[in-house]
């Protein structure tokens, strides 16, 4: 990214590289380590935390570094960091507390664990980069509140589609064009996909079957678009978004007419997606301009006659761009994508099949539920269950396939931090929808 590369080169020349701690050592986390080690002067992966040390070591080894030291305490981590020696640890919280770390990059895809890690990092003055739309889409607004109090940045990452959408949104807005839709280009959407149906694809690319399933069943795109809405003030036009499907290869410039114009121009704009368009998997922003002479210029520059102008980025390069977010946060206090304030859009849990009373809901990208994007005001008025809180909930009653779940349908697991934070988020942003007795029961015993 222009400006960031110059700033990082200066840090390299000064011998003061930005030091990051990576939480997680899965497919994407290993890519981040590889990218920083090989291609980002002015930045150093100081340590990797993972529950299995072998995977953390592999992250370094794939980048040609086979001399990482094991650190079983904060003191050992700080010693390695001070000596410039790469470290691996099973203790993610110790890494969040360690002196010498400028930013934490959270790449676990979890909710409960990631929430604890994020709070710990914030409490110890670390900027936090989330490659975790699920956490951000569930608890991002309250975590942003904690970050603001601590004077640090909480942000989603460049490279992942939400970050690319937000960069494009800011570019379009900077032209004087009003963004009215932020969109995501998908190749597949089938809410009934499962880890079984996606197993071969996951194996082909060395990815987690549950994560791949969340891509296919619409849960991931719902979280991604939710956090874009929360960062821009946009909404969804309808539960689940419009999500039109077009003939494979349809140019993205030709899809604007598929969205009701009223949904775009009335209000703050919408987040949505399209299936089958090219270039995929890219992102797009539809915008309008009121000035007739500027519309004439846009026509001259091959963007058409309006009223909708289509801007797009033909790719998202995930781990290749995460270091840009780290540098923006550490050097410029600039977030790639962070909640504005109150949640605008949530992701709500929906039955993937008929579910029976006393069943326990499995995790994201599983066999039992998928996520739908819904406006937060509606979700709270209807007491809908956030997808990010659904895992581990026991069903109080049977529900049929495609039923949107409510809090009344489930019993929450005991003493989860994510539930306590979510209730705190409710108390801050939606106090009118809180049942005091329910709130007292669900937050009892929770501590940060």
Q: What would the pLDDT profile of 151-165 be if each residue is shown by its tens digit? A: 999 999 999 999 999
Longest alpha-carbon distance in the chain: 65
Judge whether residue 86 has pLDDT over 50: yes
Percent of the chain with pLDDT over 70: 97
Report, as an integer, the average pLDDT of 379-408: 98
Place of tokens 């032209």: 175
How many CB atoms sit inside 10 A of residue 419's CB? Answer: 19
Least confident of 31-35, 95-99, 278-282, 329-333: 278-282
N- to C-terminal Cα distance for the chain? 36
| Record: fold of 345-442 | Type Iii Antifreeze Protein Isoform Hplc 12 (3.90.1210)
Judge whether residue 338 has pLDDT over 60: yes
Burial of residue 264 (CB within 10 Å: 0-12, 13-18, 19+) is buried
d(CA 176, CA 365): 39
Q: What is the pLDDT of residue 206?
A: 84
Indicate the SS3 state at residue 19. Answer: strand
How many CB atoms sit inside 10 A of residue 435's CB? Answer: 11
Task: Compute the half-sphere exposure of residue 206: CA atoms within 13 Å on the CB side of its CA.
Answer: 7
| pTM score, whole prediction | 0.95
d(CA 68, CA 75): 16
Judge whether residue 446 has pLDDT over 70: no
Report, as an integer, the average pLDDT of 21-47: 97
Q: What is the pLDDT of residue 435?
A: 67
Nearest to 132 by CA among 103, 153, 150, 111: 111
> With bands split at pLDDT 50, 70 and 90, how would you rate the model's confidence at 211?
confident
Pair 347, 387: CB distance under 8 Å: yes
Report, as an integer, the average pLDDT of 176-187: 97
- Report the chain's mean pLDDT, rounded to a whole number: 95
Enumerate residues 6+ apart whose C-beta is below 8 A from 307.
Answer: 261, 265, 288
Q: What is the pLDDT of residue 208?
A: 86
Report, as an integer, the average pLDDT of 320-327: 98
Report, as an integer, the average pLDDT of 120-129: 98
Cα distances (Å, whole numbers) of residue 431 to 135, 377, 427? 21, 12, 5
**Cα angle for residues 235, 240, 241 (degrees, 5° grid):** 55
Q: What is the DSSP letter of 342?
A: S
**Cα angle for residues 143, 37, 158 (degrees, 5° grid):** 40
DSSP H helices in 320-399: 322-332, 376-381, 387-390
Q: What radius of gyration do the chain's Cα atoms show? A: 22
Q: What is the pLDDT of residue 447?
A: 36
- CATH assignment, 4-160+319-332: 3.40.50.720
Q: What is the pLDDT of residue 445?
A: 41
CB burial of 138-169 (b: ≥16 within 10 Å; e: otherwise) equals: bbbbbbbbbbeebebbbbbbbbbbbbbbbbbb
């Amino acid at each position: 990214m222009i400006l960031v590369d110059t700033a990082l080169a200066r840090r390299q020349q000064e011998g003061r590289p930005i030091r990051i701690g990576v939480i997680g050592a899965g497919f994407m986390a290993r890519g981040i380590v590889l990218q920083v080690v090989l291609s980002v002067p002015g930045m150093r992966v100081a340590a990797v935390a993972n529950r299995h040390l072998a995977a953390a070591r592999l992250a370094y080894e794939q980048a040609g570094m086979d001399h990482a030291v094991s650190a079983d305490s904060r003191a050992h981590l700080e010693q390695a960091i001070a000596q410039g020696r790469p470290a691996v640890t099973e203790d993610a919280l110790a890494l969040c507390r360690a002196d010498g770390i400028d930013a934490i990059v959270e790449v676990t895809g979890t909710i409960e664990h990631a929430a604890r890690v994020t709070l710990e990092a914030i409490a110890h003055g670390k900027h936090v980069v989330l490659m975790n739309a699920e956490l951000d889409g569930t608890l991002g607004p309250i975590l942003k509140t904690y970050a603001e109090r601590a004077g640090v940045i909480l942000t989603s990452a460049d490279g992942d589609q939400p970050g690319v959408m937000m960069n494009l949104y800011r570019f379009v807005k900077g032209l004087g064009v009003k963004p009215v839709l932020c969109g995501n280009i998908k190749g597949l959407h089938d809410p009934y996909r499962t880890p079984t149906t996606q197993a071969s694809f996951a194996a082909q690319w060395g990815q987690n079957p549950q994560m791949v399933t969340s891509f296919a069943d619409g849960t991931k795109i719902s979280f991604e678009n939710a956090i874009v809405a929360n960062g821009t003030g946009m909404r969804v036009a309808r539960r689940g978004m419009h999500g039109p499907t077009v003939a494979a290869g349809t140019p993205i410039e030709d899809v604007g007419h598929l969205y009701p114009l009223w949904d775009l121009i009335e209000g703050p704009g919408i987040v949505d997606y399209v299936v089958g368009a090219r270039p995929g998997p890219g992102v797009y922003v539809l915008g309008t301009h009121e000035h007739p002479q500027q519309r004439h210029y846009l026509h001259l520059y091959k963007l058409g006659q309006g009223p909708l102008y289509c801007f797009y980025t033909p790719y998202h390069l995930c781990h290749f761009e995460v270091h840009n977010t780290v540098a923006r946060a550490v050097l410029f206090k600039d977030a790639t994508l962070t909640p504005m304030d109150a949640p605008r859009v949530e992701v709500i849990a929906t039955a993937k099949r008929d579910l029976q009373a006393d069943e326990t809901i499995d995790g994201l990208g599983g066999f039992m539920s998928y996520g739908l994007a819904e406006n937060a005001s509606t979700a709270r008025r209807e007491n809908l269950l956030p997808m990010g809180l659904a895992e581990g909930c026991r069903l109080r009653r049977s529900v049929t396939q495609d039923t949107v779940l409510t809090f009344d349908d489930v019993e929450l697991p005991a003493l989860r931090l994510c539930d306590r934070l979510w209730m705190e988020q409710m108390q801050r942003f939606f106090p009118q929808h809180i049942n005091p007795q329910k709130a007292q029961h669900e937050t009892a015993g929770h501590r940060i």
